[in-house]
Amino acid sequence: MSNDELTSGHKLVVSREFEAPRELVWKAWTEPRHVVRWLGAGEGMTIESVTMDLRAGGKFRLQQRMEDGEYFTAAGTYLEVDPPGRLVYTWDWEKDGGGTDFGELEGNETRVTVELREHGNRTELTLTHEKFGSIQSRDNHRQGWQSWLAKLGDFINDKQITP
């Protein structure tokens, strides 16, 4: 089940329900070894690296390389880490994401909040991404998040992760 809502302003809310316990969805979202597997599924890109220092003040970096060799590398700082229910972090893109370490950011920092709610043996993930500089940026990210949540759903449904 999937539910998307564009709210007023430059804020995006995307929800998806998974047939898995909350702890398992948290693990899939926050452990680099799992993120590499589900995020890299499909065609058109490879995941070069995933770095996650999962604590308030810790940093993350997700490096993606497209088939044409272009890099899209997201990075940010964790603001809140409350397992297995809530994660808040900044989100920005590196200017040149091709390096092997954290690089200079574009300076268009936004904020992502991920909330996991139990519904019996199912888990609802609600992702709120806000503080976009434009509606176009918000809408571009909407497509990306929908794709990522679909990949995560396939990963969980295919039982590629266990409790």
In a domain, 163, yes or no: no
pTM: 0.89
CA distances from 13 to 101, 120, 161 (A): 30, 23, 26
**What would the pLDDT profile of 124-157 be if each residue is shown by its tens digit?**
999 999 999 889 989 989 998 999 999 999 999 8
Is it true that the peptide bond before 163 is cis, omega within 30 degrees of 0? no
Closest by CA to 61, choosing from 78, 76, 80, 40, is 76
State the total domains in the chain. 1
Give the CATH number of the domain where residue 79 resides: 3.30.530.20
Task: Please provide residue 145's backbone torsions phi and psi, each rounded to the nearest 5 degrees.
Answer: -65, -40
At 163 the pLDDT is 65
